[in-house]
Amino acid sequence: MIIKNAKFYLGGKVVIKDILIEKGKITGIGKFKGEGIDANGLFALPGLIDPHVHLRDPGLTYKEDFHSGTRAALAGGFTTVLDMPNTTPPTTTVKSFKQKQVIAKKKAVCDYGLHFGATKNNFNEVKKAKPNSMKLCMGKTTGNLLVDDVYSILKHFSSFPKEKPLIVHAEDAETLEAIEKMKKGRAEIAEKIAVEKARLLAEQTDRVVYFAHTTTFEAVHLAKIWKKSLVEVAPHYLFLSREKDGKRLGKFSKVYPPLRSEAERRELWGALYFVDSVGSDHAPHTSQDKKKSSAGFPGLETTLALFLNAYNEGKIELPWIINRMAENPAKIFGLNSKGRIGKGYDGDITLVDLKEGWKVSADDFESKCGWTPYEGFTLKGRVKKVFLRGNLVVDDSKVVKEVKGKRVL
Protein backbone atom coordinates (compact mmCIF):
# COMPACT_ATOMS: atom_id res chain seq x y z
CA MET A 1 0.00 0.00 0.00
CA ILE A 2 1.27 3.48 -0.84
CA ILE A 3 -0.46 6.50 0.64
CA LYS A 4 0.54 9.24 -1.78
CA ASN A 5 1.09 12.92 -1.02
CA ALA A 6 0.18 12.68 2.63
CA LYS A 7 0.63 15.84 4.65
CA PHE A 8 1.87 15.10 8.17
CA TYR A 9 4.24 15.99 10.99
CA LEU A 10 7.66 14.44 10.62
CA GLY A 11 10.35 15.42 13.12
CA GLY A 12 8.37 18.47 14.21
CA LYS A 13 7.79 19.83 10.69
CA VAL A 14 4.85 19.47 8.31
CA VAL A 15 5.92 17.55 5.18
CA ILE A 16 4.14 16.17 2.12
CA LYS A 17 5.42 12.68 1.34
CA ASP A 18 4.33 9.18 0.36
CA ILE A 19 3.98 6.52 3.06
CA LEU A 20 4.87 2.98 2.01
CA ILE A 21 3.22 0.16 3.99
CA GLU A 22 4.26 -3.46 3.44
CA LYS A 23 2.95 -6.46 5.39
CA GLY A 24 1.20 -4.11 7.78
CA LYS A 25 4.29 -2.05 8.67
CA ILE A 26 5.51 1.33 7.50
CA THR A 27 8.64 0.51 5.50
CA GLY A 28 9.33 3.80 3.81
CA ILE A 29 8.62 7.53 3.80
CA GLY A 30 9.51 9.46 0.65
CA LYS A 31 8.53 9.16 -3.00
CA PHE A 32 7.42 5.80 -4.34
CA LYS A 33 6.32 4.50 -7.74
CA GLY A 34 3.30 2.27 -8.21
CA GLU A 35 -0.41 2.18 -7.46
CA GLY A 36 -1.61 3.80 -4.30
CA ILE A 37 -4.23 5.94 -2.66
CA ASP A 38 -3.86 9.67 -3.04
CA ALA A 39 -4.23 11.50 0.26
CA ASN A 40 -4.96 14.58 -1.83
CA GLY A 41 -5.16 17.48 0.60
CA LEU A 42 -5.94 15.34 3.64
CA PHE A 43 -3.84 15.52 6.80
CA ALA A 44 -2.36 12.24 8.11
CA LEU A 45 -2.35 11.46 11.80
CA PRO A 46 -0.92 8.30 13.34
CA GLY A 47 -3.82 5.88 13.91
CA LEU A 48 -5.24 7.11 17.21
CA ILE A 49 -5.23 5.12 20.43
CA ASP A 50 -8.10 5.38 22.89
CA PRO A 51 -6.93 4.12 26.28
CA HIS A 52 -10.38 4.34 27.88
CA VAL A 53 -13.40 2.65 26.29
CA HIS A 54 -16.22 0.49 27.67
CA LEU A 55 -17.18 -2.01 24.97
CA ARG A 56 -19.70 -3.79 27.28
CA ASP A 57 -18.76 -7.26 26.07
CA PRO A 58 -19.52 -9.72 27.61
CA GLY A 59 -22.79 -9.25 29.42
CA LEU A 60 -24.13 -5.90 28.29
CA THR A 61 -23.93 -6.40 24.56
CA TYR A 62 -27.29 -4.76 23.90
CA LYS A 63 -25.47 -1.47 24.68
CA GLU A 64 -22.32 -2.23 22.64
CA ASP A 65 -20.06 -5.17 21.80
CA PHE A 66 -16.55 -5.76 20.49
CA HIS A 67 -17.78 -5.63 16.91
CA SER A 68 -19.94 -2.49 17.01
CA GLY A 69 -17.56 -0.74 19.42
CA THR A 70 -14.47 -1.33 17.30
CA ARG A 71 -16.36 -0.24 14.17
CA ALA A 72 -17.23 2.97 16.05
CA ALA A 73 -13.55 3.32 16.93
CA LEU A 74 -12.47 3.12 13.28
CA ALA A 75 -15.15 5.58 12.17
CA GLY A 76 -13.83 7.99 14.81
CA GLY A 77 -10.20 7.65 13.68
CA PHE A 78 -9.01 5.20 16.36
CA THR A 79 -7.09 2.11 15.26
CA THR A 80 -6.44 0.83 18.80
CA VAL A 81 -8.73 0.83 21.85
CA LEU A 82 -8.13 -0.31 25.41
CA ASP A 83 -11.21 -1.84 26.99
CA MET A 84 -12.32 -1.29 30.58
CA PRO A 85 -13.10 -4.20 32.93
CA ASN A 86 -16.60 -3.24 34.20
CA THR A 87 -18.39 -5.82 32.06
CA THR A 88 -20.57 -8.73 33.23
CA PRO A 89 -18.75 -10.69 34.49
CA PRO A 90 -16.15 -8.09 35.42
CA THR A 91 -12.61 -8.67 34.15
CA THR A 92 -11.24 -9.35 37.61
CA THR A 93 -10.30 -13.05 37.43
CA VAL A 94 -8.04 -15.17 35.25
CA LYS A 95 -11.14 -16.88 33.90
CA SER A 96 -13.03 -13.74 32.88
CA PHE A 97 -9.84 -12.21 31.44
CA LYS A 98 -9.40 -15.27 29.20
CA GLN A 99 -13.09 -15.27 28.31
CA LYS A 100 -12.87 -11.65 27.16
CA GLN A 101 -9.73 -12.40 25.13
CA VAL A 102 -11.64 -15.09 23.21
CA ILE A 103 -14.58 -12.75 22.54
CA ALA A 104 -12.39 -9.85 21.45
CA LYS A 105 -10.33 -12.07 19.16
CA LYS A 106 -13.50 -13.18 17.41
CA LYS A 107 -15.24 -9.82 17.10
CA ALA A 108 -12.76 -6.92 17.16
CA VAL A 109 -12.10 -5.12 13.88
CA CYS A 110 -9.48 -2.73 15.23
CA ASP A 111 -6.48 -3.47 17.45
CA TYR A 112 -7.23 -3.67 21.14
CA GLY A 113 -6.02 -4.21 24.66
CA LEU A 114 -7.82 -5.30 27.80
CA HIS A 115 -7.49 -3.61 31.18
CA PHE A 116 -7.82 -5.86 34.22
CA GLY A 117 -10.01 -4.78 37.15
CA ALA A 118 -9.10 -4.51 40.83
CA THR A 119 -11.47 -5.71 43.57
CA LYS A 120 -11.04 -5.65 47.34
CA ASN A 121 -9.62 -9.15 47.35
CA ASN A 122 -8.47 -10.33 43.91
CA PHE A 123 -4.75 -10.01 44.64
CA ASN A 124 -4.01 -13.61 43.67
CA GLU A 125 -5.99 -13.36 40.46
CA VAL A 126 -4.00 -10.27 39.47
CA LYS A 127 -0.76 -12.09 40.18
CA LYS A 128 -1.81 -15.09 38.10
CA ALA A 129 -3.33 -13.13 35.19
CA LYS A 130 -0.26 -10.84 34.85
CA PRO A 131 -2.15 -8.04 33.06
CA ASN A 132 -0.19 -5.07 31.72
CA SER A 133 -2.58 -2.52 33.18
CA MET A 134 -5.22 -2.45 35.87
CA LYS A 135 -8.18 -0.23 36.71
CA LEU A 136 -9.19 0.61 40.26
CA CYS A 137 -12.42 2.49 41.07
CA MET A 138 -12.31 4.53 44.28
CA GLY A 139 -15.89 5.72 43.81
CA LYS A 140 -19.17 4.20 42.74
CA THR A 141 -19.68 4.04 38.98
CA THR A 142 -21.19 1.68 36.36
CA GLY A 143 -20.52 -1.92 37.44
CA ASN A 144 -19.34 -3.05 40.86
CA LEU A 145 -15.59 -2.67 40.89
CA LEU A 146 -15.49 -0.48 43.96
CA VAL A 147 -12.25 -0.47 45.99
CA ASP A 148 -12.92 2.26 48.51
CA ASP A 149 -10.85 1.32 51.57
CA VAL A 150 -7.29 2.52 52.00
CA TYR A 151 -6.05 -0.93 53.02
CA SER A 152 -7.08 -2.56 49.70
CA ILE A 153 -5.94 0.42 47.63
CA LEU A 154 -2.56 0.37 49.33
CA LYS A 155 -2.25 -3.37 48.89
CA HIS A 156 -2.91 -3.10 45.13
CA PHE A 157 -0.62 -0.09 44.85
CA SER A 158 2.23 -1.99 46.45
CA SER A 159 1.74 -5.37 44.78
CA PHE A 160 0.92 -4.43 41.18
CA PRO A 161 4.18 -4.01 39.18
CA LYS A 162 5.38 -0.45 39.87
CA GLU A 163 6.06 0.64 36.31
CA LYS A 164 2.80 -0.71 34.86
CA PRO A 165 0.02 1.87 34.71
CA LEU A 166 -2.57 1.47 37.43
CA ILE A 167 -5.62 3.42 36.26
CA VAL A 168 -7.64 5.13 38.96
CA HIS A 169 -11.22 6.39 38.84
CA ALA A 170 -10.69 9.09 41.44
CA GLU A 171 -13.89 9.95 43.24
CA ASP A 172 -13.94 9.37 46.97
CA ALA A 173 -16.82 7.01 47.79
CA GLU A 174 -17.32 8.24 51.36
CA THR A 175 -17.38 11.89 50.30
CA LEU A 176 -19.85 11.22 47.50
CA GLU A 177 -22.12 9.42 49.92
CA ALA A 178 -21.96 12.24 52.47
CA ILE A 179 -22.74 14.88 49.86
CA GLU A 180 -25.69 12.84 48.65
CA LYS A 181 -27.03 12.35 52.18
CA MET A 182 -26.70 16.03 53.14
CA LYS A 183 -28.00 17.15 49.74
CA LYS A 184 -25.33 19.79 50.06
CA GLY A 185 -21.87 20.40 48.79
CA ARG A 186 -20.15 20.11 45.46
CA ALA A 187 -19.27 16.70 44.05
CA GLU A 188 -16.00 18.24 42.79
CA ILE A 189 -14.42 17.80 46.20
CA ALA A 190 -14.98 14.03 46.00
CA GLU A 191 -12.58 14.02 43.07
CA LYS A 192 -10.02 16.25 44.77
CA ILE A 193 -10.05 14.13 47.93
CA ALA A 194 -9.62 10.94 45.91
CA VAL A 195 -6.83 12.44 43.80
CA GLU A 196 -5.02 13.51 46.98
CA LYS A 197 -5.48 10.07 48.52
CA ALA A 198 -4.34 8.17 45.44
CA ARG A 199 -1.46 10.53 44.76
CA LEU A 200 -0.12 10.28 48.33
CA LEU A 201 -0.45 6.48 48.31
CA ALA A 202 1.27 6.34 44.90
CA GLU A 203 4.07 8.49 46.23
CA GLN A 204 4.46 6.30 49.29
CA THR A 205 4.57 3.13 47.18
CA ASP A 206 6.72 4.81 44.51
CA ARG A 207 4.44 3.77 41.67
CA VAL A 208 2.95 4.97 38.41
CA VAL A 209 -0.68 5.90 38.69
CA TYR A 210 -2.86 7.00 35.77
CA PHE A 211 -5.76 9.28 36.68
CA ALA A 212 -8.73 8.58 34.39
CA HIS A 213 -11.08 11.35 33.24
CA THR A 214 -9.67 14.19 35.35
CA THR A 215 -12.22 16.99 35.37
CA THR A 216 -10.70 20.20 36.76
CA PHE A 217 -7.58 22.33 36.59
CA GLU A 218 -7.05 21.84 40.31
CA ALA A 219 -7.39 18.03 40.13
CA VAL A 220 -4.79 17.92 37.33
CA HIS A 221 -2.38 19.93 39.43
CA LEU A 222 -3.00 17.95 42.61
CA ALA A 223 -2.28 14.75 40.68
CA LYS A 224 0.90 16.16 39.20
CA ILE A 225 2.46 16.93 42.59
CA TRP A 226 3.67 13.30 42.36
CA LYS A 227 6.10 12.94 39.47
CA LYS A 228 4.93 9.48 38.41
CA SER A 229 1.31 10.61 37.99
CA LEU A 230 -0.20 10.42 34.53
CA VAL A 231 -3.31 12.43 33.81
CA GLU A 232 -6.06 11.70 31.29
CA VAL A 233 -8.79 14.10 30.18
CA ALA A 234 -12.12 13.09 28.69
CA PRO A 235 -13.74 15.31 26.06
CA HIS A 236 -16.99 15.99 27.91
CA TYR A 237 -15.30 18.01 30.67
CA LEU A 238 -13.76 20.25 27.99
CA PHE A 239 -16.74 20.63 25.67
CA LEU A 240 -19.81 20.33 27.92
CA SER A 241 -20.78 21.89 31.23
CA ARG A 242 -23.54 21.67 33.80
CA GLU A 243 -25.00 25.08 32.97
CA LYS A 244 -24.51 24.91 29.23
CA ASP A 245 -25.64 21.33 28.63
CA GLY A 246 -27.23 19.94 31.79
CA LYS A 247 -30.71 21.23 31.01
CA ARG A 248 -30.52 20.44 27.30
CA LEU A 249 -29.57 16.83 28.03
CA GLY A 250 -31.70 16.25 31.13
CA LYS A 251 -31.28 12.65 32.32
CA PHE A 252 -28.88 12.08 29.44
CA SER A 253 -26.38 14.46 31.10
CA LYS A 254 -25.56 11.96 33.84
CA VAL A 255 -21.93 10.87 33.86
CA TYR A 256 -19.32 9.93 36.48
CA PRO A 257 -17.66 12.16 37.45
CA PRO A 258 -20.51 14.65 36.84
CA LEU A 259 -20.23 17.51 34.34
CA ARG A 260 -18.61 20.52 35.98
CA SER A 261 -19.49 24.21 35.98
CA GLU A 262 -18.90 26.41 32.96
CA ALA A 263 -16.11 28.23 34.85
CA GLU A 264 -14.35 24.95 35.63
CA ARG A 265 -14.77 23.77 32.05
CA ARG A 266 -13.00 26.88 30.80
CA GLU A 267 -10.24 26.54 33.40
CA LEU A 268 -9.54 22.94 32.42
CA TRP A 269 -8.39 24.17 29.00
CA GLY A 270 -5.58 25.96 30.82
CA ALA A 271 -4.30 22.65 32.24
CA LEU A 272 -3.93 20.84 28.91
CA TYR A 273 -0.19 21.36 28.74
CA PHE A 274 0.15 19.17 31.87
CA VAL A 275 -2.23 16.48 30.63
CA ASP A 276 -0.72 13.23 29.31
CA SER A 277 -3.53 11.67 27.31
CA VAL A 278 -7.09 11.87 26.04
CA GLY A 279 -9.48 9.00 26.77
CA SER A 280 -12.92 9.24 25.22
CA ASP A 281 -14.41 7.30 28.16
CA HIS A 282 -16.74 5.83 25.54
CA ALA A 283 -19.46 4.61 27.94
CA PRO A 284 -22.42 3.64 25.75
CA HIS A 285 -25.87 3.15 27.28
CA THR A 286 -29.12 2.89 25.33
CA SER A 287 -31.65 5.75 25.54
CA GLN A 288 -33.86 3.49 27.60
CA ASP A 289 -31.04 2.91 30.13
CA LYS A 290 -30.25 6.64 30.22
CA LYS A 291 -33.87 7.33 31.15
CA LYS A 292 -33.38 4.85 34.00
CA SER A 293 -30.38 6.98 35.04
CA SER A 294 -27.34 5.08 33.73
CA ALA A 295 -24.20 7.23 33.79
CA GLY A 296 -21.91 7.71 30.82
CA PHE A 297 -21.56 9.12 27.30
CA PRO A 298 -20.55 7.48 24.03
CA GLY A 299 -17.44 9.19 22.65
CA LEU A 300 -15.54 7.21 20.04
CA GLU A 301 -17.14 8.89 17.03
CA THR A 302 -16.95 12.48 18.26
CA THR A 303 -13.75 12.89 20.29
CA LEU A 304 -11.26 13.52 17.48
CA ALA A 305 -13.69 15.77 15.58
CA LEU A 306 -14.32 17.86 18.72
CA PHE A 307 -10.57 18.43 19.08
CA LEU A 308 -10.16 19.17 15.35
CA ASN A 309 -12.96 21.70 15.67
CA ALA A 310 -11.13 23.23 18.65
CA TYR A 311 -7.99 23.34 16.49
CA ASN A 312 -9.96 25.24 13.84
CA GLU A 313 -11.07 27.68 16.53
CA GLY A 314 -7.44 28.26 17.49
CA LYS A 315 -7.83 26.63 20.92
CA ILE A 316 -5.34 23.81 20.46
CA GLU A 317 -2.42 22.81 18.22
CA LEU A 318 -2.33 19.69 16.06
CA PRO A 319 0.88 18.38 17.71
CA TRP A 320 -0.97 18.35 21.05
CA ILE A 321 -3.72 16.19 19.54
CA ILE A 322 -1.18 13.80 17.96
CA ASN A 323 0.84 13.57 21.16
CA ARG A 324 -2.07 13.07 23.59
CA MET A 325 -4.18 10.83 21.33
CA ALA A 326 -1.48 8.63 19.78
CA GLU A 327 2.15 9.02 20.89
CA ASN A 328 1.59 9.21 24.63
CA PRO A 329 -1.05 6.48 24.96
CA ALA A 330 1.35 4.18 23.04
CA LYS A 331 4.22 5.11 25.34
CA ILE A 332 2.22 4.88 28.58
CA PHE A 333 0.75 1.45 27.81
CA GLY A 334 3.85 0.04 26.12
CA LEU A 335 2.40 -0.31 22.61
CA ASN A 336 5.78 -0.15 20.94
CA SER A 337 4.66 -0.53 17.33
CA LYS A 338 1.91 2.10 17.61
CA GLY A 339 1.46 5.86 17.88
CA ARG A 340 3.80 7.25 15.22
CA ILE A 341 4.14 7.66 11.50
CA GLY A 342 7.65 6.29 11.08
CA LYS A 343 9.61 3.41 9.62
CA GLY A 344 9.02 0.19 11.54
CA TYR A 345 5.72 1.29 13.07
CA ASP A 346 2.39 -0.36 12.23
CA GLY A 347 0.69 1.05 9.14
CA ASP A 348 -2.10 2.67 11.15
CA ILE A 349 -2.97 6.03 9.60
CA THR A 350 -5.96 8.32 10.05
CA LEU A 351 -6.53 10.80 7.23
CA VAL A 352 -8.61 13.81 8.17
CA ASP A 353 -10.03 16.72 6.25
CA LEU A 354 -9.17 19.60 8.56
CA LYS A 355 -11.65 21.92 6.89
CA GLU A 356 -14.73 19.78 6.22
CA GLY A 357 -17.76 20.76 8.25
CA TRP A 358 -20.33 18.15 9.27
CA LYS A 359 -23.32 17.84 11.53
CA VAL A 360 -23.26 15.28 14.33
CA SER A 361 -26.13 12.81 14.15
CA ALA A 362 -26.25 9.55 16.09
CA ASP A 363 -28.21 8.07 13.18
CA ASP A 364 -24.97 8.03 11.18
CA PHE A 365 -22.94 6.34 13.94
CA GLU A 366 -21.69 2.78 14.30
CA SER A 367 -22.18 2.60 18.06
CA LYS A 368 -25.19 0.54 19.13
CA CYS A 369 -26.25 3.00 21.81
CA GLY A 370 -28.12 5.22 19.36
CA TRP A 371 -27.54 8.68 20.85
CA THR A 372 -24.81 11.23 21.50
CA PRO A 373 -24.61 14.25 23.82
CA TYR A 374 -23.28 16.24 20.83
CA GLU A 375 -26.35 15.67 18.60
CA GLY A 376 -26.75 18.58 16.19
CA PHE A 377 -23.28 20.07 16.83
CA THR A 378 -21.62 21.39 13.69
CA LEU A 379 -17.94 20.48 13.72
CA LYS A 380 -15.14 21.48 11.39
CA GLY A 381 -12.67 18.64 10.84
CA ARG A 382 -13.61 15.11 9.83
CA VAL A 383 -12.17 11.61 9.59
CA LYS A 384 -12.09 10.62 5.89
CA LYS A 385 -9.93 7.50 5.52
CA VAL A 386 -8.44 5.09 8.04
CA PHE A 387 -5.75 2.47 7.45
CA LEU A 388 -5.37 -0.39 9.90
CA ARG A 389 -2.00 -2.11 9.36
CA GLY A 390 -2.10 -1.01 5.72
CA ASN A 391 -5.74 -1.95 5.07
CA LEU A 392 -8.11 0.79 3.99
CA VAL A 393 -10.93 0.23 6.50
CA VAL A 394 -12.65 3.65 6.44
CA ASP A 395 -13.26 5.51 3.21
CA ASP A 396 -15.32 8.63 2.67
CA SER A 397 -15.99 8.66 6.47
CA LYS A 398 -17.62 5.19 6.42
CA VAL A 399 -16.34 1.80 7.56
CA VAL A 400 -15.84 -0.06 4.28
CA LYS A 401 -13.85 -3.13 5.25
CA GLU A 402 -13.27 -5.35 8.26
CA VAL A 403 -9.98 -6.94 9.15
CA LYS A 404 -9.35 -8.94 12.32
CA GLY A 405 -8.19 -6.84 15.26
CA LYS A 406 -4.91 -7.79 16.93
CA ARG A 407 -4.41 -7.84 20.69
CA VAL A 408 -1.71 -5.40 21.71
CA LEU A 409 -2.10 -5.29 25.51
Catalytic residue list: 281
* H helix or E strand, kind and range, residue 355: strand 349-359
What 5-8 contacts at long range (C-beta under 8 Å, 24+ apart), as own/partner pairs, is 5/38, 5/39, 5/40, 6/39, 6/42, 6/44, 6/349, 6/351, 7/39, 7/41, 7/42, 7/43, 7/44, 8/43, 8/44, 8/45, 8/341
- Site size for ligand NCD (CB under 6 A): 11
Tell whether residue 283 is a contact of ligand NCD (CB under 6 A): yes
Out of 47, 76, 77, 296, the only residue in the binding site for ligand NCD (CB under 6 A) is: 296
* Binding status of residue 169 toward Zn ion by CB under 5 A: yes
Residue 307 is a binding residue for ligand NCD (CB under 6 A): no
State the CB neighbour count (10 A cutoff) for residue 247.
9
CA distance 129 to 112: 17
* Residue whose CB is less far from Zn ion, 196 or 356: 196
CB 221 within 8 A of CB 271: yes
Q: Binding to ligand NCD by residue 170, rule CB under 6 A? A: no
| 5/70 with CB nearer Zn ion | 70
Interface with Zn ion, residue 382, by CB under 5 A:
no
Give the residue with the Cβ less far from Zn ion, 96 or 141.
Answer: 141
Indicate the residue among 333 and 387 with the shorter CB distance to ligand NCD: 333
- Compute the least distance from the CB of residue 275 to ligand NCD, in Å: 17
Report if residue 140 touches Zn ion, rule: CB under 5 A.
no
391-395 vs 37-38, strand pairing mode: unpaired
Based on the shown chain and the rule CB under 5 A, indicate whether residue 172 belongs to the binding site for Zn ion.
no
Q: At closest approach, how far in Å is the CB of 294 from Zn ion?
A: 13
- Closer residue to Zn ion (CB): 5 or 141: 141
> For residue 200, what are the CA distances in angstroms to 2, 178, 222, 237?
50, 22, 10, 25
Q: State the distance between the two ends of the chain, measured CA to CA, in whole angstroms.
A: 26
Q: How many CB atoms lie within 10 A of CB 42?
A: 24
Residue 302 in the binding site for ligand NCD (CB under 6 A): no
Least spacing, CB of residue 283 vs Zn ion, in Å: 5
Q: Which residues contact ligand NCD by CB under 6 A?
A: 54, 86, 141-142, 169, 255-256, 281, 283, 295-296
